[in-house]
Structure 1
Amino acid sequence: MKKIIALALLALMSPLAAHAATLTFPGDKPVASITIPDSWKPEETDGGVQGTSADSAVYLSAEVASAKSMEKVVTGAIDFLAKNKVTIDPSTQKETPATDVNGMQMATLEWDGKDENGPISVGLLIVQVSADNALVVTYWGDKGAEDKHDAEVKAIVASIKPVE
């Protein structure tokens, strides 16, 4: 997830793979859209969307959070990682201050960690899509194998837009 905001800025004009799904979420009252390649098998969840690269090297989800639910959504993302046997090394935390991407403020928290397969990168990206709503984007990628998905990840992040 290293340099995800910088990559997203560079990708604003980059097209996604030829076949991709643009999802608006959540359900009946969408607040955001995101485009995820079909090969990632994108799907809507209760409060957002998720997808995994075809080789399972990268998982990415985006969940909607309001000011009132932000803590619950972040805790849910961390619980999801723990349930999947992801451990984070707190000493590796890197924080990127908010940057403007597509007219929205984005900030990241990143860590090194490990899962059952070895070393990983973990990240949380907070995207302010409106005055009332933000997205909590959870990223989890296998070290080394994730690098081949940089273009896809930056295009996915760059595709995030508020629904008006």
Structure 2
Amino acid sequence: MKRMLVLAMALAIAPLLAPMFGPIRAEAATLEFPSDAPIASVTIPDAWEPKETISGIEATSPDAAIYFSIDVASDETMDKVIDDAIKFLTDNGVTIDETTKSDSGDVEINGMTFGSIEFDGEDADGPVEVSLGFASPSEGKMLVVTYWGTKETQGAHSKDLVAILKSLKPAK
């Protein structure tokens, strides 16, 4: 099953399971982006070393198994933001197998409809999963979520990934 579909299902049942496991204790920062005129916010564990980029936020898991970014696009810049995300992946040695493309369907996250497309791929470490996710926090704005995860070790980060995605919301 594809990673984003699993994350979407986990988001759906997380409120039911939360009382059994208690709060997550990891230190995390809530980042609004872009900082000069925020349109969204997300909470990312400090250990992932989140940082603001020219067009959004990026972070990498402590073991470097997972990379993700959230970029802000407008109707006019959407194609360029997607092209830049794919170029980033290929520039970093990721080969995407377009024949494996699948659509995860939509899920609601904090009032935003979130959908993604997934691909299998390969990088220097072996098989990877790649996805591009999309959510609209406000009229004319789109969030483009780029995910690149090593298949062998990405499962160890499911809890963090669900919490990160669940924290994504439009800025107030």
Provide the TM-score with structure 2 as the length reference: 0.90
1:152 maps to 2:160: yes
Q: Pick from 82, 105, 119: which aligns with 1:111?
A: 119
User: The residue matched to 1:61 in structure 2 has which SS?
Assistant: strand
1:9 maps to 2:39: no
The equivalent of 1:40 in structure 2 is: 48
Distance 1:162 1:2, change over 3 A: closer
The equivalent of 2:34 in structure 1 is: 26
The equivalent of 1:92 in structure 2 is: 100
Distance in 1 of aligned mates of 2:15 and 2:87: 31
Give the structure, 1 or 2, with the largest relative contact order (CA under 8 Å, sep 6 or more). 1
Aligned length: 164
Deviation at 1:11, TM superposition (A): 3.6
In 2, are the aligned partners of 1:17 and 1:37 still within 8 Å (CA)? no
One-letter code aligned to 1:7: A
Structure exhibiting the larger radius of gyration computed from Cα positions: 2
In 1, are the aligned partners of 2:4 and 2:116 still within 8 Å (CA)? no
Distance 1:16 1:5, change over 3 A: same
RMSD between aligned residues? 1.5
User: The residue matched to 2:62 in structure 1 has which SS?
Assistant: coil
Q: Pick from 64, 77, 81: which aligns with 1:73?
A: 81
Distance in 2 of aligned mates of 1:94 and 1:143: 16
In 2, are the aligned partners of 1:16 and 1:37 still within 8 Å (CA)? no
Distance 1:115 1:163, change over 3 A: same
The equivalent of 1:62 in structure 2 is: 70
Deviations 1:40-98 (A, max 9, x none): 00000011001100000000110001111111111110000010010111111111233
Determine which structure has the larger helix proportion and give its number.
2
Deviations 1:91-122 (A, max 9, x none): 11111233322110111100110001100010
Gaps of 5+ in 1: none
Q: Pick from 145, 159, 165: which aligns with 1:137?
A: 145
The equivalent of 2:58 in structure 1 is: 50
One-letter code aligned to 2:155: D
Deviations 1:117-143 (A, max 9, x none): 100010111011111211100000001
